[in-house]
């Protein structure tokens, strides 16, 4: 089996386990390619990809762009901040105008939940969701799974805890789907005001105490507090949050075992994680970013295989 079962990468929810395994296996091959002196392959020559970013991004935007260049695709970069969206143009008009320039694939980040799915229903191009509101961020979860696998081997029965602002996190939801499909045990930890009420329906337990959660896990994914998505005050202060749910070196060194620390970025240093933890040998934060390129190359390459 060397084909994905889906035409678009909208969310991990829609992928089968074998799709995830295929993307991760293909990423292993591309990781080897991008570590060669000549990093470019002709796989997507004659394919045009538009990167549409309606919300800020550093890692995802640059990672997709370099992945596309390594695959020899032609690329268009669009950022809503300096576009005709500011003059009132709708999403569908914006995208149809871009597609009329003969675009084959669209990578889109959008602040609204379901934006990528909406596009997939209305346009002909293959759509890759680069993050839609607090919903899904599939390529982040895939690169996270790849990074864990690289460090710990098979994910089956590995214990992963996701810590912090799970309520507003598309990274958390995509990771829960992805890690569970690969056989890992997933729990979340944080103040109950930042944990979605439906979490138990996903088969995910909540651990309130951070030290207990860290002693349970092999890998801790620390999440950023997403103040930009919080209309209500869901915890008293950042200082109190960081006292109860921030990970510092003293806590890390007091654990029963040596765990791996991950963070999707951007980091609020001193809030969810201190600098000495983020920059420690137990942190694989920069490996996650590095692996993002190979994983995105794999996802784009496999989706291009579904272009008729
Ligand atoms: N991890 C992540 O999505 O980072 P960016 O918002 O910088 O793309």
DSSP 281: T
Taking only the tens of pLDDT, the chain with its 308 residues reads: 689 999 999 999 999 999 999 999 999 999 999 999 999 999 999 999 999 999 999 999 999 999 999 999 999 999 888 788 888 899 889 888 988 889 999 999 999 999 999 999 998 899 999 999 999 999 999 999 999 999 999 999 999 999 999 999 999 999 999 999 999 999 999 999 999 999 999 999 999 999 999 999 999 999 998 877 666 577 888 889 999 999 999 999 999 999 999 999 999 999 999 999 999 999 999 999 999 999 999 999 999 987 77
| pTM metric for this prediction | 0.96
CATH-assigned architecture of domain 12-136+289-304: 3-Layer(aba) Sandwich (3.40)
For the chain, how far is it from start to end, CA to CA, in angstroms? 18
Q: Report the nearest-CA residue for atom 6 of ligand 1.
A: 57
Which residue is catalytic, options 8, 61, 109, 135? Answer: 109
Give catalytic status of residue 87 as yes or no.
Answer: yes
Residue 171 Cα to ligand 1 midpoint, Å, equals: 10
Gap between the Cα atoms of 78 and 160, Å rounded: 36
What are φ and ψ of residue 220, in 5° steps? -115, 125
CA of 137 to the centre of ligand 1 (A): 9
Q: Which atom of ligand 1 is nearest to the CA of 264?
A: 1
The residue from 110, 126, 137, 181 that is catalytic is 137
Mutation choice for ligand 1 from 53, 58, 288, CB with most ligand atoms inside 8 A = 58
| 59 belongs to the catalytic site | yes
Which residues in 50-64 are b (16+ Cβ under 10 Å) and which e?
bbbbbbebeebbebb
**Which atom belonging to ligand 1 lies closest to the Cα atom of 109?**
8
13 is catalytic: no
What pLDDT is stored for residue 1 in this prediction? 65
Question: Among the options 36, 86, 87, 281, which is catalytic?
Answer: 87
Please give all residues whose beta carbon lies within 6 A of any atom in ligand 1, as ranges.
Answer: 57-60, 131, 137, 140, 264-266
> What CATH class has 138-286?
alpha beta
Cα 109 to ligand 1 centroid, rounded to whole Å: 10
How far does residue 107's CA lie from ligand 1's centre (Å)?
14
Closest listed residue to residue 103, CA positions, set 80, 124, 129, 119: 124
Tell me the three-class secondary structure of 20-35, residue by residue. Answer: HHHHHHHHHHHHHHHC
pLDDT at 86: 84
Q: If you measure from the C-alpha of residue 140 to the centroid of ligand 1, how many angstroms do you get, rounded to a whole number?
A: 8
Q: Where in the chain is the domain with CATH 3.40.50.1370?
A: 12-136+289-304, 138-286
pLDDT value for 80: 87
């Amino acid at each position: 089996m060397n084909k994905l079962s889906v035409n678009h990468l909208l969310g991990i929810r829609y992928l089968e386990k074998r799709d995830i395994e295929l993307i991760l296996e293909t990423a292993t091959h591309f990781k080897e390619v991008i570590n060669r002196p000549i990093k470019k392959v002709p796989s997507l020559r004659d394919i045009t990809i538009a990167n549409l970013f309606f919300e800020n991004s550093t890692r995802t935007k640059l990672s997709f762009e370099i992945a596309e260049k390594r695959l020899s695709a032609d690329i268009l970069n669009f950022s809503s901040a300096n576009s005709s969206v500011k003059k009132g143009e709708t999403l569908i008009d914006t995208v149809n105008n871009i597609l009329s320039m003969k675009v084959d694939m669209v990578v889109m980040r959008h602040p609204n939940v379901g934006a990528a799915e909406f596009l997939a229903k209305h346009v002909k191009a293959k759509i890759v969701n680069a993050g839609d509101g607090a919903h899904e961020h599939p390529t982040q979860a895939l690169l996270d799974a790849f990074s864990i696998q690289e460090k710990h081997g098979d994910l089956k029965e590995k214990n992963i805890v996701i810590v912090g602002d799970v309520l507003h996190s598309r990274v958390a939801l995509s990771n829960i789907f992805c890690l569970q499909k690969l056989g890992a045990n997933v729990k979340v930890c944080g103040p109950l005001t930042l944990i979605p009420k439906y979490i138990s329906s996903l088969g995910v337990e909540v651990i309130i105490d951070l030290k207990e959660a860290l002693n349970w896990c092999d890998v801790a994914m620390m999440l950023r507090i997403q103040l930009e998505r919080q209309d209500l005050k869901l915890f008293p202060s950042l200082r109190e949050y960081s006292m109860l749910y921030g990970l510092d070196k003293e806590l890390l060194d007091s654990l029963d075992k040596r765990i791996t620390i991950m963070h999707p970025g951007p980091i609020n240093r001193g809030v969810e994680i201190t600098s000495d933890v983020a920059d420690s040998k137990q942190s694989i934060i920069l490996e996650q970013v590095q692996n993002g390129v190979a994983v995105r190359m794999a996802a784009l390459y496999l989706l291009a295989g579904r272009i008729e």
